[in-house]
Structure formats: structure tokens, C-alpha cells
Amino acid sequence: MDPAQAAHAVFHVTPYTGYVYPNETVVPWSILIVIYPYLTGLVAGAFTVSSFYHVFGMERFKPVARFALIAALSFMVVVPLTLLSHLGHPERAFNAMMTPHTTSAMAIFGYVASFYVILLMLEIWFMFREDIVHNARHDRTWKRPFYRLMTLGSYEINELTRRYDHKWLMALAIIGIPAAHGLHGYVGFVFGSLKSREWWSSDLMPVIFLFSAIVSGISVLIIFYMLISLIRRVRIDEDCIKGMVLALWGFLMFTVTLEGVEFFALMYRAREGIEIIREYKDGPLFWRFTVMQIGIGALLPVLIMTLMVYFRTAGRKLLLGAFVSASLVLVSVIFMRYNVVIGGQEISKTMKGLLDYSVPYFGQEGWLMAAALLSTPLLFMYILTRFFNPWDDTAPVRAGGAHTRDSCRLGAGEQAPVSEGGASG
């Protein structure tokens, strides 16, 4: 950490008095390490929604199943960039892969991330192979050479090839479920295995990270699906929204319960130095944890979705409630990541003092850099959807949002859009 960044970390002695170690006057894991588990969580959650349809056959998730995979790949590509941007010499990161150390949880991340990126690319290829072949034959734009390259020399489309594609798609999706969840559980394991930090050292940390990842991925898909539908001027499939709301509602209640159990277990154990954690809970952590993460970000959306389910909300109220709930959950998860990563370092290892850390706006570890990394997946999503159309514009919508393709248009008499490459979803 450079001197300019270190100036933002100021140590304050608390009434419980004591000292800190010399290396504790700075916060080495800063905002970029907060963004890292946040993005991996979106990957795991988006892939979970895709698996609801591709593996478990839940038809109501079909409208977002293909887009969920594209979103997962877009987020996953950016995940290593957060770590590389944090390093002073990012080129040295490849040494961990060329000279692996199997006893280090951090050293094996390169292999885990590479495996999952390849798995997502293969699954997307098998999912869109028929569209790729169609565009390689009929596309008349500059994208035709790309589609021809993506065919890998195979232009045959028949029932046999469709069964073959479906077989491999199903196999990759099944493999991807433990891979996606293991990817984010691994992030929780990195924190939970650090005995030097009382705030982190918990057997529940990997599980909490995993379930918070699922709720964040479901939430971001709800928001993206609704916004993109408005941009494309197509009616939102209410049955799909209801399915995602129910999934978000169930997983969120379980996540809040886990976080409460983990927090109260920490208080109940009352190990040496618990006084400083209690002061932290009533001081800086009160607004970030109690108010934002738990109150506004978790309990409020649980209440909103409970009322929606109880009163069988539909129409505009359903869409508004889903959008607001999903937005609040994303806020809760980003606060959870911040409270864990930064909060765990604000508590002194001597358990007798607190650090006051403020994130700079500019520089390698600033808010601007974090915002840029959070925005980068949107660019990848836009590019990928220009080549692979993830929307099923030709199939009629099921009962629950029962309307055909023509009635999906907001404007009466409008014709359905045709993708640039002629690909159908």
C-alpha cells in the first residue's frame, strides 16, 4: 500500500485501551477485495437461476435462462481483474499458476476461475450452436466470419445433433452447479479459515457467502430482465418474475437466519476481546450492519415479498415490488461484503482498538476504480448479446403471463424485432 493510501487509515484508541501491531495501522484489503466476492456472488447466483430451467426443468425460468448464462460469464471474466488491479505487480500473479502451491487457498484460485470460465464458454456454445450455424449460413453482416469460426467446421443441424447438444448442455449444467457454488464457497472459506481475525473466523462464513451469493444473483437478474424488457419494449413475463421472487424470498430468509445465527454465536462465545466487538457493533457497525445490511437491505425486502406472496400480488404492483426488493437485496449484499472485508480489518488483532478506514475516491484502491470494475460486466453483456440473442422471441408465453409473441408488444400492431444476425432465441 502506498503512503497516500495509508494516510486514509487512522487508528483510534478505544476506552478499553491497549496497543496494535505496527502492521495494523493500514487496511491492506481494500474496496477492490470487497468487489471481488460481490462479483463472484453474482456469478454463482446467475448460474443457479439458469440451472433451475436447464437442470431442474422449471419452465417459468425459461425467459431468463439463456441470459443468466451470458450474465454469469460476463461477471466471471471481470472477477480476476479485481484481484489483478489490487496487486502492485499483477504480472506476478501468473507465478501462482506456473508454480502451484496446493496448501494455499489463494494460490489455487487461478485454476478454479479458469475451469469455471471454460465451463461457461462451453455451455454457452452448446446452447447457441443452432443459432451460430444459422447465422454462419445466412448472416450478411461483418459478424459472419465470427459465426463461421464458431461453428468449428460443423454445419449439421438435425434431431440427432439437437439431442447431442442437449446431452452435453445438461452435463455441463450439472457439473456447473457444484462448480459455481464451490467457487463462491471458496471465497467464504478464505475468510472463515483466518484464525487471526475474530470477525472472520467462523465455520458458517462459507455458507453465508454462498447463500448471499444466490440472493444477489437472483436479484441482479430480476433487475436486468425488467430493464432490458423495457428497453426492448416487450411485456415482462409475470410468471417468470413470480418464480424469481419466490426463489429470492426463500433464499433470503434462510440467509438472514444464517447471518443472525453466526452473529449471535459470536456474541455468545464471548471470547477474550469481545468488548471491542460489542463497541464496534454499537458504533461504526450499527449503521452499516444493523440498519443497512440487516434492516433496510434484508428484513424490509423480506417483508415486502411476504406481503406480495400473501396477497397474491400481480401486475404492476408485482413488478414494482420485485424491482424494489431486488434492489434492496443488492444493497444488503454489498454492505455485507464491505462489513466482512473492511470491518474484519478495522478490529485490531489485539482486540483492544479500532481502525477508522475511509475509502479514497481516486487511485488504484478508490471508489472510481471500484465503480469502473462493477460497470465492466455491463459492457461484456452488451457485446455478447450482440452476437448471441438470449431472448426467446418466437415461443408463446405460458399461462400466468399468458400471451403470445404478438401480444407481448407494448404497442399494438408492432412487429417483433429481428436480431442483427438473424438468431432466434
DSSP secondary structure, 165-226, as one string: HHHHHHHHHHHHHHHHHHHHHHHHHHHHT-TT-TTT--TTHHHHHHHHHHHHHHHHHHHHHH
The model's pTM is 0.84
- Euclidean distance between CA atoms 60 and 237, whole angstroms: 9
What pLDDT sits at residue 416?
A: 39
Torsion of CA 80, 83, 87, 89, to 10 degrees: -10
- Euclidean distance between CA atoms 364 and 109, whole angstroms: 22
Contact call for residues 117 and 76 (beta carbons, < 8 A): yes
What pLDDT sits at residue 396?
A: 39
What pLDDT sits at residue 273?
A: 60
What pLDDT sits at residue 298?
A: 94
What pLDDT sits at residue 404?
A: 36
Sequential pLDDT tens for the chain (425 residues): 444 444 444 444 343 345 566 666 677 888 999 999 999 999 989 999 999 999 999 999 999 999 999 999 999 999 989 988 888 788 887 887 788 777 777 777 778 888 999 999 999 999 999 999 999 999 999 999 999 999 998 898 999 999 999 999 999 999 999 888 887 777 888 887 777 777 777 778 888 888 999 999 999 999 999 999 999 999 999 999 999 999 999 999 999 998 888 878 777 776 666 666 766 666 777 888 889 999 999 999 999 999 999 999 999 999 999 999 999 999 999 999 998 888 888 777 777 677 777 888 888 888 999 999 999 999 999 999 999 999 976 443 433 343 333 333 333 333 334 333 333 33
Cell of 283: 458504533
Q: Please name which of 180, 198, 155, 137 lies closest in space to residue 49, comparing C-alpha atoms.
A: 180
- Euclidean distance between CA atoms 425 and 420, whole angstroms: 13
Task: Give me the DSSP letters along 279-329.
Answer: HHHHTHHIIIIIIIIIIIIIIHHHHHHHHHHHTT--HHHHHHHHHHHHHHH
Cell of 52: 433451475
Exposed/middle/buried for residue 264 (C-beta within 10 Å: 0-12, 13-18, 19+): exposed
